[in-house]
C-alpha cells in the first residue's frame, strides 16, 4: 500500500504561489503572482472565496469521496445498496486503506473543489485564510470597510476549518500561519482543549468584524450569527467526553463541567443575539417547518445560520447537482432515476416518539410502546410530526406521477422497491423525505410539473441546533431544571422549546427532573431533529457511545413488511401490512476504540519525533 508520505507538509504548503495558475482560479486573470493577488480588494476577495469551495457539501453526491453515499451512513442513520468507498473502506474501519475513503481519507486529488476530501480541503482553506490574515492588514489600498470584510471572513474560516480537522483527528499543532516547506514541522500536538481555545479566539475576532447581515447579493457569507453559533458548537464539543482526553488516551471520564458552563454561556449569547438583533433567524414555526429544508424564492431558509449557499440548486439542475444519495422518484422508474440510494434505518425510526411523547419501537417481538393510544397495526400514525416531515414509510402514498396516478412507497415484500436489482433496493424499506417535496416524484422533470419547484442547500448549523446545544450544555453544567442568574431557560425548558414548536408535548415529568434521563432524551432529540444533517456520526463519537451502537452484530436495522393484498406497485383495498424487525446484513460497521479519532498519515506521524499518532494507529 502506498503510504501517505509527508502528508501534513504537503497539505499545508499546497497552495504555493509558484503554482498560482492551478490554485488561484481568479477573476480577471489566471496566473496571478502573490503580489498581484494582494494588490486590490477584488483579487484578494476572490482568493479568499476559494474557501467556499472547501466547505463540505454533504448533499452533493460526489463530495468528500461519497459517490452516492451520505455522511449519515457512517453512523446508524442509514443504509446504501452501492458498493462504494464508504462501504468498502470507511464502514469497515479500514481508514488507511484508501486515500479517498469518505471523510477519513487524506487524498489530495480533488483538493480545493467540492469533490475534495474534507481534511485536505480544510488544510487548503486554512492556508488561504492565514494568507489573508497575514497580508490584508498591510494592504494600503484597502478601505477600512474592505479590510474588515476580508478579515472577518478569514478569522471565521480559520475557526471553521480548524474545527473540521480537530473534531476528526483531535488536537493539532496551531495552524495559524501560511507555512512553507522550509518551516520546522517537528512540533508537538496541542490537546483538543488548547486547539479549541484558539478557535474561540478566532471567533471572538470574527464576531467583532463580521456584519449582522450581508447585502442580498452577498448572502451565504458568514455573519455574526454564524460565528456565535460555531462558538457554541465548538465549546460543546470541547466539553464532551471524547474531547477531554490527552493526545495519547481514549477514555470516557465524562463531561468537563467547566467547559459545559462555557458552552451554555456561548449558546445563550447566540440565542440572545438572534432574539434581539437577528430575529429572522429564530426557529421557524411548525407550519413552516418543512421549508427549513426546501424553500422558494430564497436559496436558503431563515433558520440557517452557517450554510453553503447553493445559489439555486434544485432538482431541475445540472446532472451533478441533485441529491443523488436521496431517492428522487421511485416505483415507476425511468432510466437511472428512482433509486433510493440511502434509506433511513429502523434504528432512527425508533427514536421518533408518539404524538403523546412516548417511545414506539419495533423490536424482535414486534412493535412496543407505553402509549395506550399506540396501534401496532398502524405504527406510523400519530407519531412525532417530524417523522412525517422526514421519512417515507412502507406503503405511504406520496405525490403523483405525470398521469396523476398515486405514487406509493412499494417496500413490502414483492413491492417494486424491494424486488429489484440489489443496487436499487431500499435496504431498510424506509426512504428519505426531508429534502423532497411531493411534486418532485413526477417523472416529467419540467418546472411546470413541480420537479424544480424548490431550492435546497447544505446546512451546517441552524438555530434549532443551538437550542439543543444549549440544552445539552445546561444539563451537564447545572442539571435539568436549574437556571443560574441571567439565564432565562433551563435545560428542560430549552428542549421543550424545540419540541413544542413542532407540536410535541413537554418532556414527561419522570424525565424532566433526572439528569441522566434528560441526557438520553436530549440525545434522542438531536437524532430526530438533525437527521441526515451531518451530526449523528460526530455525536456518537464525542459522547463515546459509538462502540455500543455500532460494534455489535448487524447494527443496522430495517423493517420487513408483508402485504396481505398488494401488487408490486400499490396496495389493494382491504390490504393489511404486518411488520418484523429486519437485520440489514449487508450493512457492515466496524468501530473499535481507536476509531474515535481518525488516523494521521502514517509516514508523517512517524517521521516527526514530537508529533504523536492517535492511539491504536
Mean pLDDT in residue range 450-476: 93
Range of the domain at 505: 223-313+455-535
Per-residue pLDDT tens for 68-123?
A: 899 999 999 999 988 899 999 999 999 999 989 999 999 889 999 999 999 999 99
What are the residues whose beta carbons fall under 8 Å from the beta carbon of 68, sequence distance 6 or more? 61, 80, 82, 84, 324, 325, 341, 342
- In the chain the first and final C-alpha atoms are separated, in Å, by 15
Per-residue pLDDT tens for 115-163?
A: 999 999 999 999 999 999 999 999 999 999 999 999 999 999 999 999 9
In a domain, 613, yes or no: no
Contact 267, 470 (CB under 8 A): yes
In a domain, 504, yes or no: yes
Tell me if residue 307 falls in helix, strand or coil.
strand
Residue 61's pLDDT is 83
* DSSP 8-state symbol, 65: G
In a domain, 243, yes or no: yes
Mean pLDDT in residue range 483-511: 98
What's the pTM value of the predicted model, to 2 decimals?
0.94
Q: 425: closest CA among 441, 442, 411?
A: 411
Range from 184-198, 206-220, 365-379, 531-545 carrying the lowest mean pLDDT: 184-198
In a domain, 326, yes or no: no
In a domain, 122, yes or no: no
pLDDT at 400 over 90: no
Helices (H) and strands (E) in the chain, counts: 20, 12
Mark 554-575 as b/e (b = at least 16 C-beta within 10 Å). Answer: ebbbbbbbebeebeeebbeeee
In a domain, 293, yes or no: yes
Residue 22's pLDDT is 33
Range from 30-39, 198-207, 236-245, 321-330 carrying the lowest mean pLDDT: 321-330
C-alpha cell at 170: 483531535
In a domain, 406, yes or no: no
In a domain, 273, yes or no: yes
Mark 494-506 as b/e (b = at least 16 C-beta within 10 Å). Answer: bbbbbbebbebee
Residue 16's pLDDT is 33
Residue 82's pLDDT is 87
Residue 336's pLDDT is 47
Residue 319's pLDDT is 44
Number of structural domains the chain divides into: 1
pLDDT at 499 over 90: yes
C-alpha cell at 303: 433558520
Q: Report helix, strand and coil shares of the chain as percent, to nearest 5.
A: 40, 10, 50
Residue 520's pLDDT is 98
Residue 451's pLDDT is 73
Are β-strands 391-392 and 431-432 bridged in parallel, bridged antiparallel, or unpaired? antiparallel
Per-residue pLDDT tens for 282-315?
A: 999 999 999 999 999 888 999 999 999 876 666 5
The CATH number that applies at residue 301 is 1.25.40.900
Q: How many CB atoms lie within 10 A of CB 578?
A: 13
* pLDDT: which is higher, 24 or 180: 180
Range from 52-66, 259-273, 276-290 carrying the lowest mean pLDDT: 52-66
* pLDDT: which is higher, 401 or 190: 190
Amino acid at each position: 500500500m502506498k503510504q501517505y508520505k509527508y502528508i501534513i507538509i504537503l497539505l499545508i504548503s499546497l497552495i504555493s504561489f509558484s503554482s498560482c495558475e492551478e490554485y488561484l482560479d481568479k477573476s480577471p486573470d489566471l496566473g496571478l503572482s502573490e503580489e498581484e493577488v494582494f494588490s486590490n480588494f477584488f483579487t484578494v476577495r476572490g482568493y479568499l472565496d476559494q474557501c467556499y469551495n472547501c466547505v463540505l457539501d454533504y448533499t452533493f453526491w460526489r463530495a468528500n469521496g461519497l459517490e452516492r453515499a451520505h455522511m449519515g451512513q457512517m453512523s446508524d442513520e442509514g443504509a446504501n445498496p452501492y458498493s462504494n468507498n464508504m462501504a468498502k473502506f470507511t464502514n469497515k474501519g479500514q481508514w488507511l486503506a484508501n486515500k479517498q475513503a469518505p471523510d477519513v481519507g487524506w487524498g489530495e486529488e480533488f483538493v480545493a473543489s467540492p469533490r475534495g476530501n474534507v481534511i485536505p480541503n480544510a488544510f487548503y482553506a486554512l492556508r488561504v485564510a492565514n494568507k489573508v490574515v497575514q497580508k490584508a492588514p498591510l494592504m494600503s489600498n484597502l478601505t477600512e470597510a474592505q479590510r474588515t470584510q476580508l478579515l472577518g471572513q478569514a478569522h471565521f474560516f480559520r475557526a471553521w476549518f480548524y474545527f473540521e480537522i480537530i473534531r476528526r483527528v483531535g488536537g493539532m499543532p496551531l495552524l495559524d500561519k501560511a507555512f512553507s516547506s522550509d518551516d520546522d514541522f517537528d512540533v508537538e500536538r496541542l490537546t483538543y482543549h488548547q486547539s479549541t481555545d484558539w478557535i474561540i479566539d478566532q471567533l471572538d475576532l470574527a464576531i467583532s468584524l463580521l456584519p449582522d447581515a450581508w447585502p442580498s447579493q452577498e448572502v451565504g457569507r458568514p455573519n455574526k450569527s454564524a460565528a456565535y453559533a460555531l462558538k457554541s458548537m465548538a465549546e460543546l464539543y470541547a466539553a464532551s467526553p471524547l474531547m477531554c482526553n490527552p493526545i495519547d488516551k481514549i477514555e470516557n471520564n465524562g463531561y468537563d463541567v467547566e467547559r459545559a458552563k462555557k458552552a451554555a454561556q456561548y449558546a445563550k449569547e447566540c440565542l440572545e443575539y438572534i432574539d434581539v438583533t437577528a430575529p429572522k433567524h429564530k426557529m421557524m414555526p411548525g407550519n413552516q417547518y418543512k421549508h427549513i429544508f426546501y424553500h422558494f424564492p430564497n436559496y436558503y431558509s431563515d433558520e440557517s445560520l452557517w450554510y453553503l449557499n447553493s445559489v439555486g440548486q434544485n432538482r431541475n439542475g445540472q446532472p451533478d447537482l441533485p441529491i443523488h444519495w436521496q431517492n428522487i422518484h421511485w416505483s415507476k422508474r425511468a432510466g437511472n432515476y428512482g433509486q433510493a440510494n440511502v434509506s433511513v434505518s429502523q434504528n432512527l425510526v425508533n427514536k421518533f416518539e408518539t404524538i403523546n411523547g412516548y417511545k414506539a419501537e419495533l423490536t424482535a417481538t414486534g412493535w412496543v410502546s407505553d402509549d395506550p393510544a399506540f396501534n401496532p397495526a398502524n405504527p406510523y400514525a400519530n407519531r412525532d410530526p417530524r417523522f412525517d416531515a422526514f421519512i417515507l414509510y412502507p406503503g405511504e402514498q406520496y405525490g403523483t406521477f405525470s398521469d396523476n396516478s398515486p405514487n406509493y412507497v412499494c417496500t413490502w415484500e414483492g413491492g417494486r422497491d424491494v424486488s429489484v436489482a440489489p443496487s436499487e433496493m431500499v435496504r431498510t424499506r424506509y426512504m428519505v423525505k426531508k429534502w423532497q417535496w411531493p411534486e418532485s416524484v413526477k417523472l416529467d422533470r419540467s418546472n411546470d410539473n413541480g420537479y424544480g419547484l424548490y431550492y435546497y442547500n447544505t446546512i451546517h448549523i441552524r438555530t434549532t441546533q443551538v437550542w439543543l446545544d444549549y440544552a445539552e450544555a445546561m444539563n451537564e453544567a447545572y442539571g435539568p431544571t436549574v437556571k443560574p442568574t441571567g439565564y432565562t431557560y433551563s435545560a428542560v425548558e430549552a428542549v421543550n422549546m424545540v419540541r413544542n414548536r413542532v407540536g410535541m408535548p413537554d418532556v414527561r415529568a419522570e424525565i424532566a427532573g433526572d439528569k441522566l434521563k434528560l441526557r438520553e432524551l436530549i440525545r434522542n432529540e438531536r437524532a430526530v431533529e438533525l437527521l441526515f444533517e451531518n451530526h449523528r456520526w460526530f455525536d456518537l463519537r464525542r459522547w463515546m457511545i459509538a462502540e455500543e451502537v455500532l460494534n455489535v452484530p448487524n447494527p443496522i436495522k430495517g423493517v420487513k413488511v408483508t402485504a396481505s393484498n398488494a401488487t408490486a406497485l400499490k396496495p389493494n383495498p382491504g390490504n393489511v401490512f404486518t411488520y418484523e424487525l429486519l437485520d440489514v446484513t449487508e450493512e457492515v460497521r466496524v468501530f473499535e476504540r481507536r476509531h474515535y479519532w481518525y488516523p494521521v498519515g502514517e509516514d508523517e506521524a512517524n517521521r516527526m519525533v514530537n508529533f504523536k499518532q492517535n492511539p491504536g494507529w
